[in-house]
Amino acid sequence: MRRSDKKIHNRKDLELIFHKAQVCRLGLCDEEVPYIVPVHFGYLDGCLYIHSASTGKKIDLLKKNPKVCFEIDIDYRIHDSTIPCDFSTSYQSIIGFGTATIVTNDKEKRHALEILIDHYASGKTYEFSKEKVKRVAIIKITIEHMTGKRSKK
């Protein structure tokens, strides 16, 4: 990171970003061309959990290459200026890298779905039918490295 003064060092601050964020941008490898897709997610114990259809481009690419990157940001705000090159932005963000696996065990899928639900509807509980659990794909990303950055005006 070029600006070390903006680096987020505290693990609790990084986890707060995960818990406040609504969207994760997932970067996948499509041979020579990158592919980025916004996804809903849940985070727990150094892993991201992503809900997905069981077929499609994202799943196809992960089967070819499970290495991924991701970006999450919160508190994004533009600060304008009367001088064009003096515009600035405040935000908090995480960029990370990891390895994705497709969860196949129904019990693990249910647990991942609970993590996702808790992220977006904390405190609520839901029953997941056997049919829905079988149909859904859960992508688990084990985070291998990440950096956080905070820019304030």
Q: So where are the chain's domains?
A: 4-151
pLDDT at 93 over 60: yes
Please state, in angstroms and rounded to a whole number, the distance separating the CA atoms of residues 25 and 41: 10
Query: What's the average model confidence in pLDDT over 133-146?
Result: 95
Query: What's the average model confidence in pLDDT over 91-108?
Result: 94
* Three-state SS at 131: helix
pLDDT value at residue 5: 65
CATH class for the region spanning 4-151: mainly beta
Please state, in angstroms and rounded to a whole number, the distance separating the CA atoms of residues 98 and 143: 4
Q: Kindly report the average pLDDT of the chain as a whole number.
A: 90
User: pTM of this prediction?
Assistant: 0.89
pLDDT at 26 over 70: yes
Please state, in angstroms and rounded to a whole number, the distance separating the CA atoms of residues 96 and 71: 7
Tell me the three-class secondary structure of 55-107, residue by residue: CCHHHHHHHHCCEEEEEEEEEEEEECCCCHHHCEEEEEEEEEEEEEEEECCHH
- β-bridge pairing 33-39 and 88-103: unpaired
pLDDT at 85 over 80: no
Please state, in angstroms and rounded to a whole number, the distance separating the CA atoms of residues 79 and 86: 9
Query: What's the average model confidence in pLDDT over 106-135?
Result: 91
> What's the token pair of residue 111?
């647990």
- Residue labelled with tokens 């969860």: 103
pLDDT value at residue 77: 78
Model confidence at 3, pLDDT cuts 50, 70, 90, reads: low
Please state, in angstroms and rounded to a whole number, the distance separating the CA atoms of residues 41 and 21: 9
pLDDT value at residue 124: 82
